[in-house]
Amino acid sequence: MSEISGRDIKDVAEQGSTLVFIVYPEAIATMPWAPVWAVFFFLMLLTLGLDSSFGGSEAIITALSDVFPVLRQHREWFVGILFSLYFVIGIPSCTDAGVYFVELLQNYAAFYSIIIAVLFEAIAVSWLYGIERISEDVKEMLGTKPGKFWIITWCLIAPLFLGVMK
């Protein structure tokens, strides 16, 4: 593709949505039976997106249903309201500025919040719950206690790396 377009490889193969919606379709267009491969490719993208959406949504639904048992009794209404909220929140991404909203979320919202959440989870589990209790739980599930490597990783290395990530 670089040779055909007369551009550098670094200019052709970019990251993000450009790669998925421009570079891959251009590559697929050069293959034999290109329309069939294009249908397969975009069906794969659709199913990948739906699967990711369902996995995250199910985690939210289960967690909130566990905290608020009344939601379990009215699960259909709760799921309908949750997905309506998803729809309303997703409308700005369908406007002309949608690409910029997605970039803002990818670059600023998701990364730091996930790192902070995982850092506090690592601290809570290894330090507050206690490494001895974790070791006993692992022994109960697997039959053997975790070795020193895992204990050091859970208590020191993982929180340290998460704390210094930018």
Q: Does 50 show up as a binding residue in the annotation?
A: no
Q: Does 65 show up as a binding residue in the annotation?
A: no
Q: Does 52 show up as a binding residue in the annotation?
A: yes
User: 145-164: buried (b, 16+ CB within 10 Å) or exposed (e) per residue?
Assistant: ebeeeebebbbeebbeebee
DSSP secondary structure letter of residue 93: G
Longest dimension (CA), the chain: 62
Apex CA 21: angle with CA 17 and CA 26, to 5°?
135
Tally of CB atoms within 10 A around 12: 19
Sequence ranges of the binding site: 48, 51-52
Sequence ranges of the binding site for Na(+): 48, 51-52
